[in-house]
Amino acid sequence: MQTDRGYKCRITNIVSLTEQEKLFQLRILDPDERNLFRFRPGQFLMLQVPGYGEVPISISSSTSNNEQVELCIRKAGHVTSVLFDAQKGAHVAIRGPFGSSFPMEEMMDRNVILVAGGLGIAPLRAPLFWINDHRDRYKDVHMLYGTREPSQLLFTYQFEEWEKINHINLHTIVEHGTPDWSGRTGMITELFSEIDIDPENTYAIVCGPPVMFKFVCNYLDKQGIPMNRMFVSLERRMHCGMGKCCRCMVGSTFTCVDGPVFDYWSVMNLKEAI
């Protein structure tokens, strides 16, 4: 579903994840609208902070949970800075959902590799929730997640749940370790040495810094995974979310309107997309 419908919401909880990122849990005020609201993994919302403007934010929650909408937000501008000062109970509004989504049904009965760099894990939570809701319909699922430093890892409180309850094979790495970090250090592509890839039966979902796309997707391409079975999210380019400001324009393509989810074959044909 894609709609310009607006919903008034109340912030029901705020979870501080790092110094720069917080998870905002919203509840749509009107019960009928709450029941009506639907989205697909990979889509985004326009989040309105009354009096200050609106920003596009990817949806980080489960498609099966109508009780709350979760948005993982980095403090990176005027609107998000105001939002970071908001308290539980404050009112905001959302419009949407907008944009393309990951083809989760197409991936069923196959292996799935999710690769996230930094804040890129935020839009990948929705497909993770989807897989968990239909876990028996997916084969091996690997989650590869890397950040620059250990303190930048998001959703660490869910790692054990993903591994032990949802049977997700989680692999984490940081570029620069700290004295108390006992995990892996290096680039995220080094995690591929820990998994066996069956290219005939594997899909990949990738989200993170643009430079990561090239290295990750090129590696998967060399392993034999077809480009039309690799999906990336180019949401970092978005600004107005409606194709009006042209800041996300690549050639004749608006990533906010035509994306943010593209298969890698399409991305390779978008000059300077990554």
Contact criterion met (CB below 8 Å) for 195 and 171: yes
Rounded Cα distance, 69 and 88, in Å: 14
Distance CA 1, CA 249 (A): 23
Helix (H) or strand (E) holding 114: strand 111-117
Query: What is the DSSP secondary-structure string of 66-89?
Result: -S-EEEEEE--SHHHHHHHT--TT
Q: What is the dihedral of CA 23, 24, 25, 26, to 10 degrees?
A: -160
Amino acid in the structure at residue 21: E
d(CA 224, CA 242): 36
Q: Which two tokens stand for residue 140?
A: 């091996």
From 197, 18, 255, select the one nearest 119 (Cα to Cα): 18
217 annotated to bind ligand: no
Question: What are the binding residues?
Answer: 240, 245, 248, 256
Question: What are the binding residues for [2Fe-2S] cluster?
Answer: 240, 245, 248, 256
